[in-house]
Structure 1
Amino acid sequence: MNIPPRHPHRVGAALPAKGRTWAAISADLQEMKAGDPDWKGGRLPALTYFLDEATYEVQGQAYQRFISEPVGFPSSGRMLQEIFSMALPLFAAPEEAGASFTTGGTESVFQAIKTARGRTRDLRNDRYGRFNIVAPETAHPCLDKAAELMDIEVRRVAVDDERRGHAASVQAAMDDRTMMVYASAPCYPFGVFDRIEELGALAQSAGVWLHVDACWGGFLAPFAKKLGRPIPRWDFSVAGVSSISADLHKFGYAPKGASLVMYRDAAVQRYERFEFSNWPRGSYVSPSFLGTKPAGAVASAWSVLQFLGEEGFMGATAKVLEATARLVAGVNAIPGLRCVEPAGECAIVVFESTDAGVDITAVAERLLARGWVRGQMREPRGIHQGVNPAHLESMGDYLRELADATEYVRANRVTGKFNEHTY
């Protein structure tokens, strides 16, 4: 008898014949969660951005209150406008600036590219030609994802000796089909800012859009600068910057599903919208990629901004900067390891092995076995560590574990297998 292969997505569960109690469901959820990383304890390199239990409670309570409501009710409309009013000044936005709330950095970047393409089509009177975007090789892959969906070419170019995108390399790849220059503040692989003042001047002279991806640093860099950190100019204070994406669900300490895309001139947002009326129901208008959006994410982001205020964000950022400084100093003090320079400019640190007897991939595997999930870098081969407030308390334990793992790998001549999918 031929038995068909089991479907890979139909494993171990069927719809219950009768509904189960919440107590039973809750117990199952808790059991499943038991194997997850201790993200509150600082054992993840990124993905989660835990500040403290009080902020976490505000997140959850606000989300719960709006958990079944869509964006579009008067309450969410008011909260969105207030989020924009609170956020835009952090990015030196002019009075005529506008913003949209999205579900994450990928959607924010998508919206910026769609808006830039629509504006470019009108300015060049070219509705059907294929355009290109020029970006440093360190740009986030969401750029290519969005460009693939919109049939736009992405040209990635080399960075300089500090791994920063710069004007000379970008300009060499531009032509008359270039619609956008893309920069990062900072780039995710190395945590360094592209040379955005250079790129702003280039974009202005070429008459093209400059988007700044600040999904990581957007709600960190403004407060770091106020704390005296030497942050380069990267926001709307730089002439030529057309749009900025910044994630509220990173260092804005909102729950997942909260990001902003901001525009120097709100008038361009007419290109951001999708409008359709060629069906029986009537006109359909959507301000961004998703149709229905959860009001819970909006309410939670608004509540966290209100709860923390500037003082709270300054305190959170101080913790991030201190944890980053401890990480850089601690790694550099371990024989056989060193941080890739510039190190820790915006809470991302990459470190590598300087000892042929220490396989850095094996070090990462040893740490994972001890409960420390680490990102792995391919070029250069190393460990990638994002820093958030949760890492401050655990930093001493982590550095001791890192030193022990390094010595274990050296003493036992352990080699590892690089995992392409650690991000």
Structure 2
Amino acid sequence: MSSPPSPGRKTLPARGQPWSELHDALSALRSADTDWRHGRDSLDVYYAGEDVLDVARRAYAMFISENARAPQFPSLQRMQDDLLQISLSLLGGGREAAGTVTIGNAESALLAVRSAYRAFRARRPQVRRPHLLVPASVHPVYEQAADMMGLELIRVAIGGDYRASVQTIGQCIEAETMMIVASAPSLPFGTIDPIEALGRIARDRDVWLHVDACIGGFLAPHVARIVPAVPRFDLSLPGVRSLAADLHKFGYAANGVSVLLYADADDQAHQLFEYDQWPKGLWRSQTLSGTLAGGAVASAWAVMHYLGETGYRTLAQRVMHLRDRYLEGIERISGLHVLGQPDLSVIAFGSDEFDIHAIGDAMQARSWHISRLTAPAALHMTVTPVHDQAVEAYLDDLARCVLAARS
């Protein structure tokens, strides 16, 4: 007999509720959420229009119950193979390259760090505590990976251009350095680190270089066709051994599907975990999660084929045009300045004249979702196609908030 629930704890309803009631309840719950369909979200939703969303939704629903990791669904394995082949073709994978579909940046980072660690241990078993060497702008998920694996992570200062400093990283590499992580672009500043130069150092010093392209991986290849100045960052660069990119960002898939790519399949082999000392026999996995939502994989596959190269390039042109409108509008507002020179769609801007976070509070009061930086203090956003509905309204409200702060 089970014990009674604690007072005040949510319990199952005594009777099931019809969908009409549940729909109303869900609508009420989401009433306070950010209106991302009209461009008022600054960071977490990548919306390319109702047609793309509908394709993703329909594909997801077709495979909502399937686990893409399970062998009895070869359709989903075929889709994953297609996603990886397309990703490798976009991101510089040669004949020896390979990859894995993951559930997101966190899993990709953990797997990349584990692979680098096992490769390092195979070469240098005598090193007591290997470490990761990263620019200060790298995502904290690598801190999390190091913490989970009992590794040290050393953050070093970035340059005045808000990019990793090649000189500083080169000076900090030691015998214990097992991995360097670079961003394409960094989430705080939107700048692509000098990965070509870092690759040369990594190769010369025999250190694993991983590229976090979770934001830019499925945007930059299309932008590079129209903006030649986009810095190189992919697997084709000597020294780059692994790269992560999120399909649920600028791939416009449903949440929960990403790729981790390796320049050499031999490096991917370090991901493999096997165990057979239990009643069911051999258990083998290349990932951390035993479940990968079949719907997420199907949505990515469907959206990629729906948009094609032409569709992605059109969206990339739209994003960069919007990015430029935001940059120009921000720079026109006296007292504001953009941090660095963002390469893709992430923008951060601050002020030397007034409290930029107070401006953020005022914008939030006007129903904008505001993302912030703390060091240096700044406001922050990722421009997506949906922002074409909101750019002028955002800039107008921003100018009003700055004017109010001045007075």
Distance change >3 Å, CA 129–CA 279, structure 1 → 2 = farther
What code does the residue aligned with 2:346 have? I
Q: After TM superposition, give the deviation of residue 336 of structure 1 in Å.
A: 1.8
Structure 1 stretches of at least 4 aligned residues deviating more than 4 Å after TM superposition? none
Q: Which residue matches 1:44?
A: 41
Match of 1:31 among 24, 28, 32: 28
Aligned to 2:402: 406
Give the deviation of 1:172 after TM superposition.
2.0
Between stretches 376-385 and 208-217, larger displacement belongs to: 376-385
Contact 2:107 2:288 in 1 (8 A): yes
1:354 and 2:387 are equivalent in the alignment: no
2:311 maps to 312
Paired residue for 2:368, among 368, 372, 375? 372
Structure 1 residue 124, shift from structure 2 partner: 2.5
**Alignment identity in percent?**
36
Secondary structure, aligned partner of 1:242:
strand
Tell me if the contact between 1:322 and 1:392 (Cα under 8 Å) persists in the aligned partners: no
Amino acid across the alignment from 1:90: L
SS in 2 for 1:183: strand
Query: What CA distance in whole angstroms lies between the structure 1 residues aligned with 2:118 and 2:277?
Result: 20
Deviations 1:202-235 (A, max 9, x none): 1111111100000111011111100124111111
In 2, Cα distance between equivalents of 1:133 and 1:380: 24
1:249-260 equivalences in 2 (<5 Å): 249-260=248-259
- Please list, as runs of the form range in 1=range in 2, the aligned pairs for 1:149-164 lying within 5 A after superposition: 149-164=148-163
The CA distance in 1 between the partners of 2:228 and 2:197, in whole Å, is 21
The offset of 1:137, in angstroms, is 0.7
**What residue number does 1:394 align with?**
390
**Partners of 2:209 and 2:297 in 1: CA distance:** 27
Report how far residue 125 of structure 1 moved. 4.0
Distance apart, 1:279 and its partner CA: 1.2
* CA offsets 1:164-207 (integer angstroms, 9 cap, x no match): 11322112222111111111111111111111111101111111
Could you say which residue in structure 2 is the equivalent of 1:132?
A: 131
The one-letter code sitting in structure 2 at the alignment partner of 1:235 is D
Cα distance in structure 2, aligned partners of 1:99 and 1:272: 10
Q: Is the 8 A contact 2:191 2:340 kept in 1?
A: no
1:40 positional shift: 1.3
The residue that corresponds to 2:3 in the other structure is none
Give the secondary-structure state (helix, strand or coil) at the position aligned to 1:226. Answer: coil
Could you tell me which runs of 5 or more consecutive residues in structure 2 were left unpaired when the two chains were aligned: 1-5
Is the Cα–Cα contact under 8 Å of residues 102 and 259 in structure 2 kept in the other structure? yes
Structure 2 SS opposite 1:320: helix
In the TM superposition, 1:58-97 aligns within 5 A as 58-71=55-68, 72=70, 73-97=73-97
- Equivalences, count: 399
Do structure 1's residue 18 and structure 2's residue 15 form an aligned pair?
A: yes
Shift of 1:341: 2.2
Residue 105 of structure 1 is matched in structure 2 by 105
Deviation by residue 1:4-57 (Cα, 9 ceiling, x = unmatched): xx88xx66x421111111111111001111110011111111111001000000
Q: Conserved in 1, the CA contact under 8 Å of 2:199 and 2:240?
A: yes
**Residue type of the alignment partner of 1:153:** E
CA distance in 2, matches of 1:122, 1:98: 20
Find the aligned partners of 1:229 and 1:338 in 2 and give their Cα distance: 25
Q: How well do the aligned residues superpose, as a CA RMSD in angstroms?
A: 1.4
1:363 maps to 2:362: no
Once residues 146 and 156 of structure 1 are traced to their aligned partners in structure 2, the CA distance between those partners, rounded to angstroms, is 14
Distance (Å, rounded) in 2 between the aligned partners of 1:273 and 1:42: 41
Once residues 224 and 393 of structure 1 are traced to their aligned partners in structure 2, the CA distance between those partners, rounded to angstroms, is 21
